[in-house]
């Protein structure tokens, strides 16, 4: 195991979506192709895919669904802003750009220093792509992003904000909205009940030292109250809001999805930053 993936750390949670993507790529190779996950797992020497949690389709299919959802939002923004910059906040070992086959847009991957060291080793950089090691709560990283308001910018934060306190998320989003007018952010989130599920999943993966904190009960109302520059907040169902087919759901997956949807436990958010012009 890499020193950067010590158990009971936030960094170790990188293995959860990575192994989920690997399983999904084996079972549904054409769903949203990920030709890197299995190689990275092998190189890291940290394969948790045999753990009991991954016997449930729901636990691994959601890993590729999140990648698909983020890609859908990026694609939608790029249709209106074809030269926009793309920024993955908390990129981890995501291979989203490689999955999308994007070779033209400026693309930044941001994460903690030890995680970026893993990216440098295991995820080949594409043309116009750059990794940035930073603390996302230290907003000095804003200065490292090339931003042209005329071209636009889109941010993703897949599986990231759970590990932040709500005040940290509020501070970050308000500052981003002011600094990157006309931009857009997409991320996954949960309510307080869903947050209990997130913490349970992390424990099932063998990580007892990492805790999640951030949840939203009424995302549109809460986020738009934070700043007049945060506008047009839209919500979609996590499991079925974007991906309409391509795999056969087990009865347990259908049940989980129904529960998550009925009790508003998990969702995707689209957040725009007002353009004063």
Find out whether 195 and 216 touch, Cβ atoms under 8 Å.
no
Band (53; pLDDT cuts 50, 70, 90): confident
C-alpha–C-alpha distance, residues 277 and 186, integer Å: 22
Find out whether 173 and 185 touch, Cβ atoms under 8 Å.
yes
Read off the pTM.
0.93
Mean pLDDT, to the nearest integer, of 37-52? 89
How does strand 129-133 pair with strand 107-111?
A: parallel
pLDDT at 48: 80
Find out whether 94 and 109 touch, Cβ atoms under 8 Å.
yes
**Which CATH code is given to the segment(s) 3-273?**
3.40.50.150
Q: Examine the pLDDT at 11 and tell me if it is beyond 90.
A: no
pLDDT at 214: 93
Two structure tokens written together for 113? 């220093």
Domain boundaries, the chain: 3-273
Find all residues with CB under 8 Å of 121, minimum gap 6, and list them. 43
C-alpha–C-alpha distance, residues 122 and 199, integer Å: 27
Q: How far apart, in Å, are the Cα atoms of 219 and each of 115, 193, 233, 277?
A: 29, 14, 8, 26
Mean pLDDT, to the nearest integer, of 180-197? 95
Mean pLDDT, to the nearest integer, of 212-231? 96
Mean pLDDT, to the nearest integer, of 215-241? 97
Q: What is the pLDDT of residues 160-185, one digit of tens each?
A: 999 999 999 999 999 999 999 999 99
């Amino acid at each position: 195991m890499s020193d950067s993936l010590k158990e009971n750390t936030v960094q170790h949670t990188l293995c959860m979506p990575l192994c989920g993507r690997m399983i999904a790529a084996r079972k549904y190779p054409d769903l949203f192709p990920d030709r890197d996950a299995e190689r990275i797992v092998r190189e890291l020497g940290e394969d948790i895919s045999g753990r009991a949690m991954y016997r449930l389709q729901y636990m691994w299919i959601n890993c590729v669904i999140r990648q698909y959802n983020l890609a859908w939002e990026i694609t939608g923004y790029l249709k209106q802003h074809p030269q926009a910059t793309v920024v993955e906040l908390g990129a981890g070992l995501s291979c989203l750009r490689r999955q999308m086959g994007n070779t033209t847009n400026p693309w930044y991957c941001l994460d903690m220093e030890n995680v970026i060291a893993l990216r440098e080793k295991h995820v080949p950089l594409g043309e116009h792509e750059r990794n940035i090691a930073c603390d996302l709560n230290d907003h000095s990283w804003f200065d490292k992003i090339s931003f042209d308001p005329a071209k636009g910018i889109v941010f993703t934060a897949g599986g990231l904000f759970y590990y932040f306190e709500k005040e940290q998320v509020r501070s970050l989003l308000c500052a981003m909205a002011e600094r990157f007018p006309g931009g857009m952010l997409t991320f996954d989130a949960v309510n307080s009940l869903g947050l209990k599920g997130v913490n349970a999943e992390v424990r099932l993966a063998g990580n007892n030292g990492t805790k999640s904190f951030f949840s939203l009960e009424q995302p549109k109302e809460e986020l738009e109250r934070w700043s007049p520059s945060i506008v047009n907040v839209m919500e979609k169902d996590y499991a079925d809001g974007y991906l309409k087919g391509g795999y056969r759901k087990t009865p347990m997956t259908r049940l989980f999805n129904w529960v998550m949807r009925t009790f508003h436990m998990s969702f995707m958010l689209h957040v725009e930053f007002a353009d004063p012009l």
